[in-house]
Amino acid sequence: MAFINVLIIILTLSSTPISILSGPVTYNTNSTTNSSTNVAVSARKGADPPSKQPGGDNMICETCRALSEKLTCCFNASCVDLSSNRFNCGSCGIVCDLRTRCCGGLCVDITKDNGNCGNCGNACAPGQDCSFGLCGYA
C-alpha cells in the first residue's frame, strides 16, 4: 500500500506543470517587457489576466517561445521541452510509459539503450552494451 501511495505522489508531481516564471506577472497598459523575474503584458487597465481573455493562451504561448526556443506551448498553454518531457515527448501529448524516459524527443529504455544508458545522453563506449542501466562488455 505504501508503494502505491509513493507512486501516486511521484506521478502527481511529475505531471504538474512547473511555472517558468520566477517572479510575479504584472499587467500594465502599453508595457511589453520580458525578463526572468517579471513579465508584463499589454492589457487594458483593469483587464483580466491573459488566460481569462479571448486568445489569452496565445499570449502565454508567445511568452513561452520568447523565454527559450527549446520550449513548446502544448495543451492548456503549458510550456514544455519536447526533448525531455515524458508527458509530451517529441510532440505534444506523446507520453512515455513508466519503463522509459524522454531523451532527445524519443521514449527510450535507459536500462538497455546503448546511447542513453542509465541516463539520457550517457553513451556506452564502442564494444560495450548497456545492461540494467550500466555499460559493460558483452
| pLDDT for 23 beyond 50 | no
- Shared domain for 56 and 104, answered yes or no, is no
Is residue 73 within a helix (H) or strand (E), and if so which, with residue range? strand 71-74
Residue 115 vs residues 78, 94, 124: alpha-carbon distances, Å: 29, 21, 6
Question: How confident is the model at residue 60, as a pLDDT?
Answer: 72
Evaluate if residue 79 carries a pLDDT over 80: yes
Same domain as 55, residue 110: no
Supply the pTM of this predicted model: 0.53
Contact between 131 and 121 (Cβ < 8 Å): no
- Tell me: do 69 and 107 sit in the same domain: no
Determine the structural domain holding residue 138 and report its residue range: 99-138
Q: Which range in 20-34, 43-57, 75-89, 107-121 is most confidently predicted, on average pLDDT?
A: 107-121
Confidence of residue 43 (pLDDT cuts 50, 70, 90): very low
Dig out the grid coordinates for 104 from the structure: 532527445
